[in-house]
Chain A
Amino acid sequence: MAEQKRRNQILTTVSILLLLGFIYFAENYLDLYIVRILNVCAIYAILGMSMNLINGFTGLFSLGHAGFMAVGAYTTALLTMPPAVKQQIFYLTPLIKPLDQMNLAFPLALLVGGLLTALVGSMIAAPVLRLKGDYLAIATLGFAEIIRVVFTNTQSITNGALGLKGIPALTNLWWSFGTAAFTLVVLLSLINSSYGRALKAIREDETAAEAMGINLAKHKTLSFVTGAFFAGIGGGLLGNLLGTIDPKMFSFMFTFNILLIVVLGGMGSLTGSIISAFIVTFANEYLRFLDESINLGFFVLRGKVGMRSVVFSATLMFVVLFYRHGLMGSKEFSWDRLLASRVCQRMQGCFKKRLLKGGYDQ
């Protein structure tokens, strides 16, 4: 038992070191395109985990994630853009004071973005969280749409439909992976705490949870606001990665993508969300050929715009219909399970055999 624990600790430490090494390598030597995809993976992991907290762990079917991301993205962008750039972009309607002169360090701007999103989340929570199931879904979706419409119409803050351009590219792998790791650690700790158990109780049975003395409004709000906070930070990272944002970007489609990640990874599994964030993001890139025509030299393979989304929505339906628990169900990643898995057993078997053949004692 203790030995197993030690082994797991060693494995975890080694993996973290490997990851750090990989990030260093990627930042310095990998192709920019790949680095960008990796950044998107980590950001989607953050967004997926935050949505999972609300939907998977608390059982609140919230579809407002795109709205949260928008608040975070705009806040962080506006706080990090140099005043000169802002002046240039806001040529139709000038940016209001004091935003036009403000300029914060990236981490601070992210934090403000997260907190502001949390604030918006808490304002939405009061009316919305009294609703259940579909009503909650449609009301949160409505709020996200309202946020989008408001952002399109408040030119003097958001530059309206034109969006923001020239956002400094401050997001790098250290920030995105670092934030993702931080999100994972905090949320894992949360769901394993007494509060996390209360959230799961609400998911399992609201009436029983309330009969056990759990204040539903309070706990749902905590979950919702925490989810909003991390979604806002994720949005901020994304804006400063892409360099441009506009209200159209934060439509329901975006929420849908995050939902796909959550469902595929397993509702109620944070590590599942991370794994599926990587799968979905890479699939999104490598399935691009579906949308574009590729010239094979002798033959042009005709792609069709939208094909990728067809594949994605079909995947979502397929997962829900036949594979409802997703990759991880409601379990978290663990070394014990990984090592006990069949593939791993076989690999270990091969490994040992080879060692013995080589004449070593195990």
Chain B
Amino acid sequence: MSLLKLTEVTMNFGGLTALKSFNLELAPGEIVGLSGPNGAGKTTVFNVITGVYEPSHGQIFFMEQEITGMRPDLITKAGIARTFQNIRLFKGLSVMENVLIAHHLHLKANYLAAMLKLPGYRREEREMRERSLALLERVGLADLRDEQAGALPYGMQRRLEIARALATNPKLLLLDEPAAGMNPKEAEDLTAFIKEIQTEFDLTIFLIEHHMDVVMNISELIYVLDYGMTIAGGKPAEVQNNQRVIEAYLGVNEDVED
């Protein structure tokens, strides 16, 4: 059984095809990487999975249910959580609040009950707080729970964003360039951390990583995109030696130099 399945997904923006006939199948418990040069369409894949964009063509299934074009909050409710490439925390709110907000989707008490602080709501609120604190402890941010999220150092913001995603209680976690802007040591720690939470929370992880070495290290399978096309897919070692992948990356390097 596949957890997530994309068939022939295409995304057009005006005249630009950001993603073309993309196919993917994720089995439960896998860690799969998605790579490719700048503007290849990686983030677009996440955006169509999470309902931010409605794909122009193709279908998306999560646990055998079609979720194509569904509202993002419902997709999250169904069990897909994500982080963003350009960290999107609730910057003005506290670290704790950021995680609490992610619990909101499981709240059973209705609006009036919450406004009037009825006992049922109070119990749920207490539980949410306990769970949030436990999560923050797990990612090592418990001491900073009252800090403003936007004031945290970059690396911690990344961790908080992951903690926040975990709080929605997902089955599938999508990480968009989690190691971006980190030095090799930090990236290594993060890799270890991702592997840990994967077993701990029983997750399937699909992650975008620009840097080949990081994806290689962590993923069992890697897909590579270039100009919206899937140019390779398979075991890290195979992909690494793929001629088209090498060319795509060399192309990028040329761009960087001029």
Interface residues of A (CB under 8 A from B): 186, 189-190, 193-195, 197-198, 200-201, 204-205, 207-216, 222, 330
B121 touches A193 (CB 8 A): yes
Q: Which of B11-19, B60-68, B88-96, B189-197 is the interface stretch?
A: B88-96
> Given the complex of chains A and B, what is the CA–CA distance between A207 and B114 in angstroms?
24
Chain B residues, CB < 8 A from A193: 114-115, 117, 121, 125
**Main SS class of interface, A:** helix
A-B pairs with lowest CB-CB distance, top 4: A213-B105, A213-B76, A204-B90, A208-B88
Q: Scan B73-99; emit 1 where CB is below 8 A from any A CB, else 0.
A: 100110001101000111111000100
A207 touches B88 (CB 8 A): yes
> Given the complex of chains A and B, what is the CA–CA distance between A204 and B102 in angstroms?
14
Given A186-B115, A189-B116, A215-B73, A198 and B90 contact (CB-CB distance below 8 Å): no
> Given the complex of chains A and B, what is the CA–CA distance between A228 and B105 in angstroms?
25
Q: Scan B101-131; emit 1 where CB is below 8 A from any A CB, else 0.
A: 1111101010100111100010011001000
A201 touches B84 (CB 8 A): no
> Given the complex of chains A and B, what is the CA–CA distance between A190 and B90 in angstroms?
19
> Given the complex of chains A and B, what is the CA–CA distance between A50 and B89 in angstroms?
27
Q: How far is the CB of A253 from chain B (nearest CB, A)?
A: 31
- Of chain A, the residue at the smallest CB distance from B92 is A204
Contact of A210 among B72, B89, B103 (CB under 8 A): B72
Q: How far is the CB of A271 from chain B (nearest CB, A)?
A: 18
Chain B residues, CB < 8 A from A208: 84, 88-90
B180 interface hit (Cβ, 8 Å): no
Chain B residues, CB < 8 A from A195: 104, 111, 114-115
B168 touches A201 (CB 8 A): no
> Given the complex of chains A and B, what is the CA–CA distance between A193 and B122 in angstroms?
9
> Given the complex of chains A and B, what is the CA–CA distance between A212 and B72 in angstroms?
9
A209 touches B114 (CB 8 A): no
B104 touches A197 (CB 8 A): yes
A194-B114, A201-B104, A204-B93 are known; give 7 further A-B pairs, CB within 8 A.
A194-B121, A210-B76, A211-B76, A213-B73, A213-B76, A213-B105, A214-B105
Q: How many residues of B contact A (CB 8 A)?
A: 36
> Given the complex of chains A and B, what is the CA–CA distance between A222 and B111 in angstroms?
8
> Given the complex of chains A and B, what is the CA–CA distance between A215 and B198 in angstroms?
27
> Given the complex of chains A and B, what is the CA–CA distance between A198 and B105 in angstroms?
9
B50 touches A211 (CB 8 A): yes
Pairs across A and B, CB under 8 Å, 15 listed: A189-B116, A190-B114, A194-B121, A194-B124, A194-B125, A197-B97, A200-B92, A201-B90, A204-B93, A205-B90, A209-B101, A212-B73, A212-B105, A213-B102, A215-B73
Given A195-B114, A213-B73, A213-B77, A201 and B93 contact (CB-CB distance below 8 Å): yes
Chain A residues, CB < 8 A from B105: 212-214
B117 touches A201 (CB 8 A): no
Chain A residues, CB < 8 A from B31: none
Q: Which of A190, A195, A212 has the most CB of B within 10 A?
A: A212
B164 interface hit (Cβ, 8 Å): yes
Q: How far is the CB of A21 from chain B (nearest CB, A)?
A: 29
> Given the complex of chains A and B, what is the CA–CA distance between A211 and B167 in angstroms?
12
B252 interface hit (Cβ, 8 Å): no
A194 touches B100 (CB 8 A): yes
Chain A residues, CB < 8 A from B124: 194
B246 interface hit (Cβ, 8 Å): no
B76 touches A198 (CB 8 A): no
**B185-222 residues at the A interface, CB under 8 angstroms:** none
Q: How far is the CB of A135 from chain B (nearest CB, A)?
A: 20
Q: Which of B82, B109, B114 has the most CB of A within 10 A?
A: B114
Chain A residues, CB < 8 A from B102: 212-213
B121 touches A198 (CB 8 A): no
> Given the complex of chains A and B, what is the CA–CA distance between A66 and B145 in angstroms?
40
> Given the complex of chains A and B, what is the CA–CA distance between A204 and B164 in angstroms?
15
Given A207-B52, A210-B72, A213-B76, A194 and B104 contact (CB-CB distance below 8 Å): yes
> Given the complex of chains A and B, what is the CA–CA distance between A211 and B156 in angstroms?
20
- Of chain B, the residue at the smallest CB distance from A212 is B102
- Of chain A, the residue at the smallest CB distance from B107 is A194
Q: How far is the CB of A216 from chain B (nearest CB, A)?
A: 7
> Given the complex of chains A and B, what is the CA–CA distance between A198 and B128 in angstroms?
14
Chain A residues, CB < 8 A from B76: 210-213
Given A186-B115, A189-B115, A211-B72, A200 and B97 contact (CB-CB distance below 8 Å): yes
